[in-house]
Amino acid sequence: MTSTSVASSGTVETGRLSSWTKIAYAFFGLSFTMSTMVNTWQMFYYTSFMAIGVGVVTTMLAFGKWAGAAISPVWGWLSDRMYSTSIGRKLGRRRAMLLILAPLNLLFYVLLWLPNMPVWAYILFNVGYFAIWPGVTTIDYALPSEMTDNSKDRAQLVVGGQIGGAVGSFGLSMLNVYLFNIWGNKTWDAYFKIAMLYAVVGTILLVLAAFAIKERPYDPSTDVAAADKDAKGKTNALKQIVSVFWNFVSVIRIRTFRNYLYIFLTQIIFRNVRGTLNSYFIIFVLMLTAQDVSLSTGISFLFGIAFVTFWGWATSKVGGLKTYRAGGYITFVLFGLILVMGLLKQNFTPTQLAIGFTVLITAFGLGNSGIVNAQQYIQAFVPDVDEIVTGKRREGQYAGITETLSTVVQALVVAGTGWVLVLFGFQSGSETQPASAVNALLYMYCLTPMVLTLLGNFLTYRMHLNDENHKVLVAEAKRLREGGSMADVTPETRKVVEDLAGMKYEECWGHNNIINISNRG
């Protein structure tokens, strides 16, 4: 199949993306209400209504996420290479993957919420869900770089995706409040019915998003599978298995990716700790209700739309690194205030605590959206550095790595927080907890973001991928892609490329074994 046939299904254009394409991309964020429901209520659902001990639940969820993490590298690797298949060349490498994954995700998502199943069944369902869902998010993460080379369009796609997530989470939270009032929140069936509602809506949105994707055409830069072949133009199944994991680890040699990785890990760890413990903090530390969980989450996400819009504008003006630092300092201050409120909670009425927490967690949305917006914006440019190193467009590779690490962190956080809570006397199924468990919740919930945001801000000073260097990088990749000689590089361009790549200029543009371990350069 030729590149013309792929273009007819929606390839990346040299001009600006249409407004409809940008809006439709936000459907990814809207569909993530399914994931938000899992992250917010699955652990609570299992411990409170399925009568499974918190230690068993956290271990079970961690096992599912670890199994998913082991499979996750395949999605980015496979997505990049879908042009080697007839369906990929017909539909596009990202669209084809998404249309395969969406119905599988629906199946396992529904199975997660089936009541009164044996623990072994829940383990299998969680393995299936956490194996499939990373494939969906890998496509989402890859698209800002895949769909356009225009920096403004990339920034708008990042903002649009975040707004979609904010709208979806707000809708979920507000609808949850309404549905809890109708169905109650003391029995399993209310949570089950809510989950099924989001399963249907989320899947429809994923399918709609799939048909709005714009993709790079089939050409030498997107024919990533060609780089897997040996000098005789051959490969085999064993080499491909090795290639999946070699591609996952070899990118650590690229300096810009290493620096991005450190920043990514600090923010994903603290955000997962906060997300995992949020419901428990509200219910057991502040002694509020399930409706308060949904109300505080919903209001904070509503304001998040304005916050994300602001950060998108700010990032376009001053760059992602500066906005990341600003978001980090805001987050540090707000969690310091939440810590003080938790320590002095006996001095406040439940209404005062509910209002105070809602205000602070809404303000935290300003800091959090600044961090996330900047992190995702920076991530969208890492594949451009990879292209100058490998000569290939591997958006899926980096999206897969990001998703894999996210899954690993989630597994570690779920298991780690669960074990800590058990160690400090947390009692599953109880409406109150001992002081030791309450204190553990308080300090984990507040100190983790405070420490890691400061560390993340420090690490941003190691990152040199700014707008000026990026323009030099893209221009050089374009020159080489069009047949230019590496011998004609200017001293200024050489300096930028070597700084961002972390290797000599002569070792770039495929003269290395980053993709193919057997390549001697």
Same domain, 352 and 500: no
CB atoms near residue 428 (< 10 Å):
16
How far apart, in whole angstroms, are the C-alpha atoms of residue 415 and residue 419? Answer: 6
- CATH code of the domain in which 96 resides: 1.20.1250.20
pLDDT at site 11: 46
pLDDT at 15: 59
Q: Report whether pLDDT(4) > 60.
A: no
Nearest to 418 by CA among 36, 65, 37, 72: 65
Q: Which amino acid makes up residue 501?
A: A
Residue 146: what residue type? E
Tell me the average pLDDT of the chain.
Answer: 88
Whether residues 354 and 209 share a domain: the answer is: yes
Q: Which of residues 198 and 16 earns the better pLDDT score?
A: 198
Where residue 520 falls among pLDDT bands split at 50, 70, 90? low
Q: How far apart are CA 356 and CA 362, in angstroms?
A: 10
330 and 418 inside one domain: yes
Predicted TM-score of the model (pTM): 0.80
CA dist., res. 210 & res. 28, Å (int): 9
pLDDT of residue 521: 58
- 222 in a structural domain: no
Same domain? 342 vs 479? no
Distance between CA atoms of residues 80 and 76, nearest Å: 6
- Report pLDDT for 492: 95
- Shared domain for 137 and 255, answered yes or no, is yes
Can you give the residue range of the structural domain that contains 109? 15-216+248-470
Instruction: Kindly report, residue by residue over 407-444, the tens digit of the pLDDT.
Output: 788 778 888 998 999 999 998 878 889 999 999 999 99
Burial 226-239 (b: 16+ CB within 10 A, else e): bbbeeeeeebeeeb
Instruction: Report if residue 513 sits inside a domain.
Output: no
Q: Are residues 480 and 442 in the same domain?
A: no
The residue ranking higher by pLDDT, 299 or 183, is 183
18 CA to centre of own chain: 25
Are 492 and 352 part of one and the same domain? no
Do the domain assignments include residue 5?
A: no
Helix axes 395-423, 237-250, angle to 10 degrees: 70
The pLDDT assigned to 368 comes to 92
**Residues 210-267: tens digit of each pLDDT:** 998 899 888 888 889 888 887 777 888 888 888 988 999 999 999 999 999 999 999 9
| Mean pLDDT confidence for 267-290 | 89
> Which of 444, 470, 496 marks a domain boundary?
470
Query: Does residue 113 lie within any of the structural domains?
Result: yes
Neighbouring residues of 65: CB distance < 8 A, sequence distance ≥ 6: 126, 130, 407, 408, 410, 411, 414
Could you report the per-residue pLDDT of 26-65, keeping only the tens digit for each? 999 889 888 888 888 898 899 999 988 888 888 888 787 7
Same-domain pairing of 171 and 253: yes
Whether 190 maps to a domain, the answer reads: yes
Helix, strand, coil abundance in the chain, percent, nearest 5: 80, 0, 20
- Please give the pLDDT value at position 6: 37
Handedness of CA 375, 381, 385, 387 (dihedral sign): positive
Tally of domains in the chain: 2
Which pLDDT value is given to residue 200?
Answer: 93
The reported pLDDT for the residue numbered 300 is 65
Residue 516 lies inside a defined structural domain of this protein: no
Average pLDDT over residues 307-320: 87
Same domain, 386 and 479: no
On the question of pLDDT at 3 being above 70, the answer is no
Assigned domain for 177 exists:
yes
Indicate if 455 and 401 belong to the same structural domain: yes
Does residue 352 share a domain with residue 397?
yes
Type of residue found at 426: F
520 falls within a domain: no
Centre a 10 Å sphere on the Cβ of residue 409 and count the other Cβ atoms it contains.
20
The string of DSSP letters for 159-174 reads HHHHHHHHHHHHHHHH
pLDDT band at 294 (very low <50, low <70, confident <90, very high): low
Domain boundary among 470, 489, 516: 470
Claim to verify: residue 153 and residue 192 sit in the same structural domain: yes
Q: Quote the tokens at residue 101.
A: 């994954």
Residues whose CB is less than 8 angstroms from the CB of residue 393 and which lie 6 or more positions away in sequence, other chains included: 80, 145, 146, 216, 221, 222, 224, 383, 387
